[in-house]
Amino acid sequence: MNLNPSPWWQSSVVYQIYPRSFCDSNGDGIGDLPGITSKLDYLKTLGVDIVWLSPIYQSPNDDNGYDISDYRAIMPEFGTMQDFEHMLEQMHARGIRLMMDLVVNHTSDEHEWFRQARLSRDNPYHDFYIWADPVEGREPNHPTNWEAAFNGSVWEWNEPTGEYFLHMFSKRQPDLNWENPRVRREVHNLMRFWLDKGVDGFRMDVINMISKPWQPDGTLPDAPRVRPGFLQPGFGMSLNGPRLQDFLLEMKQEVLRHYDCVTVGEAPGATTELARVITDREQGALDMLFQFEHMHLDAQPGQSKWHLKALDLSDLKVTLSRWQDDLAESGWNSLYLNNHDQPRSLSRFGCDGQYRVESAKMLATLIHGMKGTPYVYQGEELGMTNFPFQSIEECQDIETLNMYADAVTGRGIDRAEVMQAVRAKGRDNSRTPMQWTTAPHGGFSTGIPWLAVNPNFTEINAAAAVADEESVYHYYRSLIELRREMPVLVHGQYALLDAENPDVYVYARALGDERLLVICNFRAREATIATPSDIVGRAYRRVLGNWPERSRDASQTLALRPFEALMLHARVTD
Ligand code: NOJ
């Protein structure tokens, strides 16, 4: 049962900033905090309520800040603590809240805890991490057969102590041992440090990996064998572990419940059952989760994301509808198609050529029409596209580089085939710098950007978008405003319509006698739908659309233009 009144984050729209790529104020080619501050009016005009800032803490940048060496210090490339405080003050002055990234499944190997931990088995910090002895009589003698998210084994040898340590990501990102109460206390303290500075919440990096599946004998189990060779997909082994809920409830008890803040847990492999428990407003620990089911629909079933497959629209309908339906009564959804780990949704599910603008608006309509909190990733509001990577030398992302080396050097797969996967799924697609103007490097930096700007910046940039009333930017502005104006968008019950339609995603939101119909043509050609019964023979209002309005008769079918999206509003009193 939901409590009243509904919390502010349920009617908010979040904007994600990837600081390295947002705006560079000092010409070193790397985005920074003063750069963000200089763009707050742009965000204010867009209308977003919350900024989620990817990590800005001190880090050797093995994984662009998701490897933290000091949780209380600002990465010098990004600025100083004064810059941070000024940015936060300026956000608050504009009524924008700030959600920080909390990366506590692992630290950097340069974190002081790990420097200490690896020195000796009796160092007071040794038990902050996860260690295991080699297994006699097995080749290789690794404690488990898990493959890391960034390729290779999850186990790395530590000479001084003669043991392996666990890293679910790169070998420079050792996993913390959450079974140790001192670790949890340190995490609570650092959360308080930022909340006391005035931040408004956290996005919690892979938070459902913190509880490992320990066996009674103190070892971890092998992953099931699904392919030849020693290493097997290991990522799933550390998801949704037995003490996850305990650890999160303790965090709520110790920290979160004392602040008016918002939390979203990144939770790959989360099911709707888990989400209902974790995000239940009374009993749950977090406000919402990032689930990933819809992000796997364009990969071969059971394979990694690099094994490409065209999206089947019916899979998307089934998946998103299940999340909407299962969280209808308890829990809360986060709504997204983009972030710094995903390729640009427009290139992925829409069309980045002829119908770029139409398909960007269509995908936005799909997401912003649903029940939950929508997330906009920087540049999404401009209709930014994937980058035309031709060679691996143009890439920077550790996941992509390691995958490429493993595939090409390790397994002899054809370079062209691997590059095709990189172009489709590489994380650098979303990390290319923001395109602000037609100035060199898209106005992102006066220096040489750390990652090349997409050459289409001359056409796709914020200055052009702000000046053009018909742009993707203004469409997002309208969607964000609508959420503020129409309670049906925030609270309305979701129902999938015309489920079998292979081309068009149609759903309704219902609140009292209000109906909001959301209609999204996923094809670069005309398509038709059965006219939803809520509007047959009724007066209805077009709330928003991505093609010029045209008169429609009240016939049994509704014709749609390429990538056409519509939001129609009706009252069903009679
Ligand atoms: C998820 C983050 O979003 C991603 O960028 C990062 O590489 C991994 N977690 C490891 O922290």
Give me ligand 1 centre to Cα 372, in Å: 23
Closest ligand 1 atom, residue 103 Cα:
11
- Do 33 and 70 meet the contact criterion of CB atoms below 8 Å apart? no
Whether the CB of 341 sits within 6 Å of ligand 1: yes
Q: What are the tokens at 414?
A: 């054809």
555 — pLDDT class (breaks 50, 70, 90): confident
Average pLDDT over residues 258-262: 98
Residues of the chain with pLDDT > 90, as a percent, come to 96
**Given this model, what pLDDT does residue 553 score?**
67
Query: For residue 22, which of 7, 33, 8 has the smallest C-alpha distance?
Result: 33
- Average pLDDT in the 470-493 region? 98
Nearest-atom index, ligand 1, CA of 266: 1
206 Cβ below 6 A of ligand 1: yes
Count Cα neighbours of 484 within 13 Å in the Cβ-side half-sphere: 11
- pLDDT tier, 1 (very low <50, low <70, confident <90, very high otherwise): very low
Question: 66 C-alpha vs ligand 1 centroid, how far in Å?
Answer: 6
Q: Distance, CA 485 to ligand 1 centroid (Å)?
A: 35
- What separation in Å is there between the alpha carbon of 88 and the centre of ligand 1? 24
Say which DSSP state 310 is in: P
User: If you take atom 2 of ligand 1, which residue's CA is the nearest one?
Assistant: 205
Give the bridge partners for 304, in sequence order: none
Q: What is the reported pLDDT for 5?
A: 80
- Ligand 1 pocket member 103 (CB < 6 A): yes
CA atoms within 13 A on the CB side of 359: 20
CB 400 within 8 A of CB 427: yes
Whether the predicted pLDDT of 560 surpasses 60 = yes
How much of the chain is helix, strand and coil, in % rounded to 5? 35, 20, 50
**Residue 359: which of 341, 343, 383 has the closest Cα?**
383
* Residue 2 pLDDT > 50: no
Q: Which pLDDT tens digit goes with each residue over 58-112? A: 999 999 999 999 999 999 999 999 999 999 999 999 999 999 999 999 999 999 9
pTM of the model: 0.98
Q: Which atom of ligand 1 is nearest to the CA of 54?
A: 3
- Could you tell me where the beta strands, DSSP code E, fall in 168-290? 201-204, 232-233, 262-266, 288-290
Neighbour tally for 22: CB within 10 Å: 23
Q: How far is the CA of 538 from the centre of ligand 1 (A)?
A: 48
Question: Per-residue confidence at 4, pLDDT binned at 50, 70, 90?
Answer: low
The pLDDT tens digits of the residues spanning 17-73 come to 999 999 999 999 999 999 999 999 999 999 999 999 999 999 999 999 999 999 999
Give the per-residue SS3 of 88-111. HHHHHHCCCEEEEEECCCECCCCC
Is the sign of the CA dihedral 25, 28, 32, 34 positive or negative? negative
Q: Which of 59, 107, 204, 205 gets mutated to test ligand 1 (max ligand atoms within 8 A of its CB)?
A: 205
pLDDT tens per residue across span 107-148: 999 999 999 999 999 999 999 999 999 999 999 999 999 999
Residue 418 belongs to what H/E stretch?
A: helix 415-425
Residue 554 pLDDT? 61
Return the active site residues: 205, 266
The residues that bridge with 565 in the sheet, in sequence order, are 520
Query: Which atom of ligand 1 is least distant from the CA of 150?
Result: 7
